[in-house]
Structure 1
Amino acid sequence: MRTTIGAEFTAALHRYRDRTALEAGGRSWTFGDVDRWSAAVAAQLRAHGVTAGDAVALYLGNCVEFVVADLAVARLGAVKVPVNPLLPAATVDHVLRTSRARLVVLGSSVPRPDGVPALVVDDGGGPLPGEPLAGPASEVAAPEPADIGPDARAAIYFTSGTTGLPKGVVHTQASAVAVQYAQIVEAEIVEGDRLLLTTPLAHAAGLFAQSALIRGATSVIEPGFDAGGVLEAIRTRGITWTFLVPTMIYRLLDAVGGAEEFGLRTVVYGAAPITPSRLARALEVFGPVFVQLYGQTECPNWGTRLAKDDHDPSRPDTLDSCGQASIMADVAVVDDDGRFLEAGGTGEVCLRSPYTLESYLDDPAATAEKFLPGGWIRTGDIGFLDDGGYLHLRDRRTDMVISGGMNVYCREVEDVLATHPSVSRVAVIGVPHDDWGEAVHAVIVTDGPVEPGEIVEWSRGRLAAYARPKSAELVAELPETPFGKIDKKALRAPHWAARDRAIG
């Protein structure tokens, strides 16, 4: 059994040499092409001093270079640090500084960070501000494979907690390999599949691209999601598999005309539940192809799985869930004291698998708080298990909104809005939204004349598009708990009163 993700990639690149590995922008590359290209990039990284254990940031949008650089990092036994180009510059700087990135691979359209050597990918953003990343025509021998073991670091993914400060989530080589084994099975990725990837490679789509390589499938990479373009690709490019968030499924349903046949075999979705009425329509249009995942950065993607057979409108109780424990995971629910609850008991959801985090980067206190005895991790989600082992989510401990599949950390938004000259106090919550699941909503106490819409507009340019409030309201004061904290449960209650759970 191979114990490093680099070894998995190397084996696949040789096994499937003549098959198509990647497609983008009207071009294609075989596994052999990608082998040579990633070897050249690995040699380039080594020439810049990158060795096993060094962090390399991938600050790129969706492009084939992201996948190639990912492979190169793995071949060196270095540590991947994916960075979403939608993040504010200050957050990017924090990620690079905290991870101690030795080098960053970045797109020409993103701001170049200070103090970190860069290799630049031409993404149409203008003149290249630095040395170009090695191209597909490069012929350079690959460096010797890294001499590392399963406990070595493979990746640091950054996620925010209730403090609003991004935390580094450390995953080992063993974790990186294990999640791929689980994912290939649970996401039903098979040889010859053609995966359409439109969500950010810096998030879950990057893991799916890895699965496609390991399994001998083809990744068709698009820079972003466009409903019309996705439907056209499904119709004309032989797409058999894709990953979406529910909002994207809704957009596809809105764009579909009359009845037609689609060649999709599997649609994996996650980040939020799907509206039952929309699911019924999706099953009519695309057939029984849907698989729901539930996980978190600390246990990527596959904590639970709602299988294709479970997507049955005649079983509403099952559809209310996010499925049963994945093939390599265990799920439990605990009370406030960490005691395990029987079926039907509501408490904090905990997960255990071979691909949970090793630790939070440089944060032993947060790591200790995350883990329970026996290898269990706390998710911060509140829910219960039914008698069939299906997990039903009901709320979140963590102060976060999931809007259109993107994590929005309320403290980050509040910190920005609080700098408006007329804002005295502010609380950010998630409110129901038919398309996005939840929408970001700001509740504001002002000390000057200002309209809610003015504050929403003011946030443009100061927050990522997905994190900006979609609505705001002015109040005389914010409710507080007996401990003097803002009572967000009270703020959310009127918006969620007609629903049976307090998340979208």
Structure 2
Amino acid sequence: MLTVDMVRAGARRHRDRVAIRYRDQSLTFRQVDELANRLANALIGSGVEAGERVGLLIGNGPWTVPLDFACLKARACRVPLNARLSADEHARMLADAGVRTLVYESALAGRAAELAERLDGLRAIGLGGARTGDPDLLERARSASVADPRLPARPDDVILALYTSGTTGTLKAAQHTQASYAAIVSNILTNLLSPGRDDVMLHAAPLIHASGTFVLPFWLRGAQAAVLDGFDPETYLAAISRYGVTHANLVPTMLQMLLATGGARERPGRLRSVIYGASPMPRPVIEKAMRAWGPIFTQYYGQTEAPLCLSVLAAEDHVGPDAPLGSCGQPSVDAEIRLVDERGAEVAPGQPGEVTVRAPFAMAGYLDAPELNAATFLGDGWLRTRDVARMDERGFLYLVDRTSDMIVSGAYNVYPREVEDALHTHPAVAECAVVGAPDERWVEAVVAFVVRRPGAAVTGTELAEHVRVRLAGYKVPKRVEFVPAIPKSGVGKILRRELRDPLWAGAGRAR
């Protein structure tokens, strides 16, 4: 079954049940499907061709899921843009992907206008509240046909180009097809959860990220998606009771913030399952969470190139004297995992090696990046993750380190070199190095070590603001330390670990 067929199957099976709840609105499966048909026909009528890449600059809302389904039915490839990124980053993504049509929500009309001015040939289309002179997709959908366009689809049709800086620091788009995304849905249903018709998952994280991958599995089973504009601890806890939420997907930062509120001292409402991932979970946090809410937590490990779960630490594995809480779980039943050395040969049992995976849900490759694809794929379907791990005798996987120095701050990937490049554009900076430090709220915080040029005067606040106008806010250093020199190896390579290890000393977890 292809991904678009899953959309049709869910609509056919559960027509008059509620599928999506947003604020005080409810949409049934029939209403979502019919709106997706109208939006698909409006996209086609606006000149979007089969296989064309369409940029999406939208947040969470009542139209997010119908628009995703509409792109499937129009045979368009979605290129979601994280609203938190800078205009420079958005422009690079759109230009790199060859996007000609950008759909934006009213709250992001200003950014859409800026991008339309910067990129020749980019057509901006509003999704309600369009700027003067721009077409409005919702208005066009009202007069469009409600019939499914039924365009023929193939398993290798690319339906999603999701940009990530991953572990290499270079923005690149991981491509997923009709077949691989359908395998992602099956992967979730097989390894993580099995929702029923009375279940509800709460979505507060952006649906363009991991949270959005849970929509279609719940859709297939006739369950609901309750969508919030964003994450606020008090609002989130209230929504669990308001919508009768049974399942939640949280990153460690969100869980930490919830536990800090008085209302999270006991399990809220009907909640019976919490799935977490995207960044390392500090052991004290998960232990506190289990004391408050019970053994309802399941961890997954995956990446944009092979979502959602390469391995799973089930709820049952979180309890008992031998609970491997430092592990990211055992390999998923539909994923083959090998740990290899730098030559691609399997390492001895118990030894650390790079995680490689072969699975039906792995990406088809990076967009227009033949050299990177050659370095990422080992042949015979095996994909490098650039994560280093070891596996114990019970088959539990333990992440040891990354082959890069990527920082995961609030579940967002920050690559030090990108921040360093921004810092180096300031005339007062002679040298710099960026690392991650432990942080109670964000798990990891970006810290910059800077050597000033002789005679230059600059403050940490000034440097942070200098970065802020060039990169997304979560990439801005939370702290700037001025040092006389940056430690280097004999060949001049920056020794980040010498800067990072003292920051993590006593943190209760190695980095």
TM-score tier, shorter chain, comes to: over 0.9
Matches within 5 A, 1:213-362: 213-257=219-263, 258-259=265-266, 262-312=269-319, 314-316=321-323, 318-362=324-368
Partner SS, residue 260 of structure 2: helix
Q: Gaps (5+ residues) in structure 1?
A: none
Determine the structure 2 residue equivalent to 1:21.
19
Relative distance call for 1:177 and 1:259 in structure 2 (3 A) is closer
SS of the residue corresponding to residue 350 of structure 2 reads coil
C-alpha distance in 2 between matches for 1:189 and 1:131: 41
Instruction: Return closer, same or farther for 1:482/1:207 CA change in 2, 3 Å cut-off.
Output: same
Counterpart CA distance in 2 for 1:173 and 1:260 is: 38
Deviation at 1:502, TM superposition (A): 4.5
The question of whether the paired residues in 2 share the 8 Å contact of 1:24 and 1:220 is answered with yes
In structure 2, C-alpha distance between the alignment counterparts of 1:315 and 1:137, rounded to whole Å:
58
Q: Counterpart of 1:62? A: 60
Distance in 1, Cα, partners of 2:267 & 2:205: 25
Match of 1:208 among 214, 222, 227: 214
The aligned residue for residue 371 of structure 1 is 377
Distance in structure 2 (CA, Å) of the matches to 1:259 and 1:6: 40
Q: CA deviation at 1:247?
A: 1.1
Aligned to 1:433: 439
Aligned residues between the structures: 498
- Deviation of the 1:381 alpha carbon: 1.0
Match of 1:486 in 2: 494
Counterpart position of 1:96? 94
TM-score (norm 2): 0.93
Report SS of the residue matched to 2:107.
Answer: coil
- Which residues in structure 2 correspond to 1:130-169 (within 5 Å)? 130-134=134-138, 140-160=145-165, 164-169=169-174
Tell me the CA shift for residue 259 of structure 1.
4.2
Change (3 A) 1:14 1:118: farther
| Alignment check: 8 A CA contact 1:430 1:492 kept | yes
Alignment partner of 1:397 is 2:411: no
Deviations 1:243-277 (A, max 9, x none): 11011111111113454653112111101232222
- Counterpart residue identity of residue 187, structure 1: L
**8 A contact 1:36–1:139 mirrored in 2:** no
> 5+ residue gaps in structure 2?
none
| CA separation of 1:253 and 1:161: change in aligned 2, threshold 3 A | closer
Tell me the SS of whatever aligns to 1:208: helix
Moved more, 393-402 or 139-148: 139-148
Offset, 1:398: 2.2
> For residue 134 of structure 1, what is the amino acid of its counterpart?
L
Instruction: Return the offset for 1:201.
Output: 1.1
Alpha-carbon offset, residue 236 of structure 1 = 2.8
Answer yes or no: is the 8 Å Cα contact 1:163–1:411 preserved in 2. Answer: no
Matched with 1:30 is 28
Between the aligned partners of 2:160 and 2:505, the Cα distance in structure 1 is: 41
Secondary structure of the residue aligned to 1:134 is: helix
CA RMSD after TM alignment: 2.0
Structure 2 Cα separation of the partners of residues 477 and 374 of structure 1: 46
User: Counterparts of 2:186 and 2:362 in 1: how far apart (Å)?
Assistant: 14
- More off after superposition, 244-253 vs 418-427: 418-427
Q: Does 1:451 align with 2:459?
A: yes
Cα distance in structure 1, aligned partners of 2:401 and 2:154: 39
Separation in 2 of the partners of 1:370 and 1:260?
Answer: 42
